[in-house]
Structure 1
Amino acid sequence: MPKDAVVEEFAALVRALKARDGRSYEALGRRLSVSASTLHRYCSGATVPEEFAVVDRLAVLCGADEEERRALEESWRRAALTRRPQQRAGTPAPSPSGLVPETPRAVAAPPEALPQPDPAVPRTRGRWARGVARVAGMVAGGVALALGAVLLLWRQEPAAVEPAAVEPAPFTWAAASHVWRDGCGHTYLADRAPGRVAPPPPAQDAAAWAGAHGAVHGGETLVRVSLQGRSAAAVVVQAVHVRVVGRAAPLPWRAYRMDEGCGGGVSPRHFAVDLDAPRPLARSVAGLDATGAEPRTIPAVSLPYTVGAADPEELLITARTEGCDCRWYLELEWSSQGRSGTARIGDRGGEPFRTSAAGARSAYTYDSVGRRWIAGAGS
């Protein structure tokens, strides 16, 4: 099947899933933690996702059964392979003009340039001279071949190094990065004057509010990751890592607090991350339930642990910084049925999570009576 036909076959399956659900690209994208434009590119065939997980989440969301999901994964695998250019072994890479350079060949000398036997030289000496001439000719030809090869390599553009194929993880995941502490406490940084900032939204609308204002998490980001196996086979999560891919000076924007202080009776167990550390680690921390007569400790997550189709798991990561505008990913090491790999988890659209230090700057809080933002204490 032609490459374009393979990609179109996969895109048609994705379009069929979207049509079955009936929701818009934006509404589905919010459920899948990808942008509407990214989902549209999958449906049009302009892009093939690097990992099957996002498409599998779409299939589950749209009610696809196990057989449909297997067919979808096989179609994705074929489409993903067509997007990795392959080159026959031993074939020179094309030049910038698109033409494959020819292999240099030794050019034969014209007949008149070849050495002629001297009648005055004895026969044995003539044979020796002709042998020397043949050896010299072969040496000259070899030099010409070597020189031609050097010139060819010098003129040829370096071949691009293709990344190794990534095996899909045997579990699906969904990440929510706009989680507020105790459901109400959070600080955002926004490059806007108070008069141009909408009132604090309900916690479930935080992602849309932050996107509309170009806001960034201030000082702390809470990420909730939901994991579920694709089949009955157990998947062992070996470790949780944090990879910081960018550090810059903290943003000088205004800070806006979503509450004036709130507290909850339960502090959930979580993984604490110090983004300012040279090598940030995800440290498992126990929780605390203070709603009863006696406080009760919630045991910390102990790695490794298993997930499956009937045994989902939820992780809470609390990442903090006091000194940078940090961009970072989560990476989960997994193993299952003799296979192993690492799943990279990012924000919507596959972008890294972003957290900027808020410092001791004055933070704005919202006056619900006067319906305006007012300057308050440090965040």
Structure 2
Amino acid sequence: MPENTAAADFAALLRELKDRSGLSYGVLAKRLHMSTSTLHRYCNGDAVPADYAPVERLARLCKAHPEELVELHRRWVLADAVRGRKGAAAAETSPEEAGSGTGPGQAASGAAPPAEAASAGAPPAAPADADTGADPAPTRRRTRTAVLAGIAVAAVAVGVALAVGLPGGGSDGDGDGDGGRHRPVGAAGVTAEGTAPASSSPPSSAASPSSPAKDKSPARTPAGSAPAGAPSGEGQKSGVPVTVRAEPYAWESPCSQRYLADKPASEMKPPPLEEGAAAWVAAHGAVSSGQQYLRLTVQGTGPETVVVDGLTVRVAGKRAPLAWNDYAMAYPGVGCGGGVQTRAFAVSLDSARPSLTPEPGNEDFPFKVSESDPEVYYLTASVSAYDVDWYLELKWSSGDRSGTLTVDDEGRPFRTSGNKGRPAYEFPIGGDGWVPEGTTKLE
């Protein structure tokens, strides 16, 4: 989809919501904690927000209907994807190349400098004093070193090209070096499987009870399919025609989310805005308390239709609920919006076999997606009696192909703990610290 069309469609819906609300740009910008000029640029199509959280807050302030929230997210995904492709194309040409009018790897004079010639596998030109009678030994040594370096670089380049071009680097004959099980294919903690049956084994990196930090090991480096918003060709290299973007720290409303943390109230920072929730959780080693609201954006990597056959909840571990303090993200006295979204599902992690059920009035799987028609699913996972590690398996099919994507929190399971009987705290507006919940006097 052309960039101007995607951005214009997104901006048109933003303007429609803004105009219908009757609120001015200044009032909305103040409530969204952004400048009026930034909001103008979003609504005029001059810029696309890099993060969806402020867009959703704007829509809720304008009292958007659930169907409009889904459509707004879909248009933002498309506009963000086009912007990502534009940025990637611009990065292929360096400023020096753009200014000189030469192609990559060429000097302004049209001849490649010695270092670049070496990287291409060719020896550099002889130095200017080659015929002056000076000792040529240093020159030969430099030339030989450059040639060897060029050969090494060329060999690495060939190896990388072969690794990218082949379906997989394994020797087990299935085109996948790890047997097709839990191979990373997305930056949002998504792994892919081929047509093999679904496995109930947990992701390779399990969260420890005291450290919910993200797994940054090289083994989880994304490869194969790209997250939603990336160029479609990247996703098609692995043969997986669908991608998933997981947002495990989304909030259903400003009042809905709570976190458990093994720290006293005196050491806790004030509640964040939704877009800062992930950083706040990481800084405090916090865990979702009572329930976790998960937003999944599912998008095809090409024009073909992909059927999302279902989402299965897999439990990786259950323990007694955490004996930590419970911190509410809402400020006392602040009104809360919310409401049931389209494509909304619920699951009780207390169940022996947790499974997703559609919220009242919502349809169940299967659904269809493509590159130009993504879907957004909203999952509410509740728990009271356990501390649960869990993840999702998304089953897809397209023509004669099918497979499973494992969706988790960047290589680790999602984690949600019950909070019954835990000390609860809130942060008063204008206050300077957390206080026991229910003790704030509202004026």
TM-score of the alignment, normalized to the shorter chain, above 0.5 = yes
2:345 aligned residue: 271
Instruction: Provide the secondary structure at the position in 1 that maps to 2:430.
Output: coil
Instruction: Provide the secondary structure at the position in 1 that maps to 2:416.
Output: strand
Asked if 1 retains the 8 angstrom alpha-carbon contact of 2:313 and 2:392, the reply is yes
1:333 aligns with 2:395: yes
How far apart are residue 274 of structure 1 and its match?
A: 0.5
Label 1:48 to 1:215 Cα distance change in 2 as closer, same or farther (>3 A).
closer
1:110-149 equivalence runs, <5 A? none
Aligned equivalents of 1:37 and 1:250: distance in 2? Answer: 23
**Match among 357, 360, 385 for residue 283 of structure 1:** 357
Aligned equivalents of 1:6 and 1:327: distance in 2? Answer: 41
1:253 aligned residue: 324
Instruction: Provide the secondary structure at the position in 2 that maps to 1:267.
Output: coil
Aligned equivalents of 2:312 and 2:326: distance in 1? Answer: 29
- 1:167-186 Cα deviation digits (max 9, x unpaired): x5311110001112313421
Instruction: Name the amino acid aligned to 1:352.
Output: P
Relative to the length of structure 2, the TM-score reads 0.49
Aligned equivalents of 2:326 and 2:353: distance in 1? Answer: 27
1:52 aligns with 2:114: no
Label 1:6 to 1:361 Cα distance change in 2 as closer, same or farther (>3 A).
farther
Label 1:182 to 1:48 Cα distance change in 2 as closer, same or farther (>3 A).
closer
- 1:242-299 Cα deviation digits (max 9, x unpaired): 001100111000010011364325322411101011110100113xxxxxxxxxxxx4
Q: Structure 1 stretches of 5 or more lacking a match?
A: 14-30, 42-46, 78-167, 287-298
1:366 aligned residue: 427
**Match among 376, 382, 389 for residue 320 of structure 1:** 382
- 1:148-175 Cα deviation digits (max 9, x unpaired): xxxxxxxxxxxxxxxxxxxx53111100
Aligned equivalents of 1:258 and 1:10: distance in 2? Answer: 49
Label 1:262 to 1:305 Cα distance change in 2 as closer, same or farther (>3 A).
same
Please give the root-mean-square deviation of Cα atoms over the aligned residues, in Å.
Answer: 3.3
**Match among 261, 270, 274 for residue 203 of structure 1:** 274
How far apart are residue 37 of structure 1 and its match?
A: 7.7
Instruction: Name the amino acid aligned to 2:378.
Output: L
1:300 aligned residue: 362
- 1:302-359 Cα deviation digits (max 9, x unpaired): 3211001111000011001011000001111111011111111001x22100000011
Instruction: Provide the secondary structure at the position in 1 that maps to 2:404.
Output: strand
Asked if 1 retains the 8 angstrom alpha-carbon contact of 2:215 and 2:411, the reply is no
1:186 aligns with 2:257: yes
Aligned equivalents of 1:337 and 1:6: distance in 2? Answer: 34
Instruction: Provide the secondary structure at the position in 2 that maps to 1:57.
Output: coil
Q: May I ask how many residue pairs the two structures share in their alignment?
A: 241
Q: Please identify which structure carries the higher strand content.
A: 1
Asked if 1 retains the 8 angstrom alpha-carbon contact of 2:314 and 2:392, the reply is yes
- 1:160-219 Cα deviation digits (max 9, x unpaired): xxxxxxxx5311110001112313421100001111100001111100000010000001
Asked if 2 retains the 8 angstrom alpha-carbon contact of 1:182 and 1:262, the reply is no
Aligned equivalents of 1:313 and 1:38: distance in 2? Answer: 28
Aligned equivalents of 1:36 and 1:329: distance in 2? Answer: 14
1:33 aligns with 2:181: no
Q: Percent identity?
A: 34
Instruction: Name the amino acid aligned to 2:424.
Output: A
Aligned equivalents of 2:424 and 2:291: distance in 1? Answer: 14
1:343 aligned residue: 405
Asked if 2 retains the 8 angstrom alpha-carbon contact of 1:362 and 1:377, the reply is no
Aligned equivalents of 1:7 and 1:174: distance in 2? Answer: 30
Instruction: Name the amino acid aligned to 2:224.
Output: F
Label 1:37 to 1:267 Cα distance change in 2 as closer, same or farther (>3 A).
closer
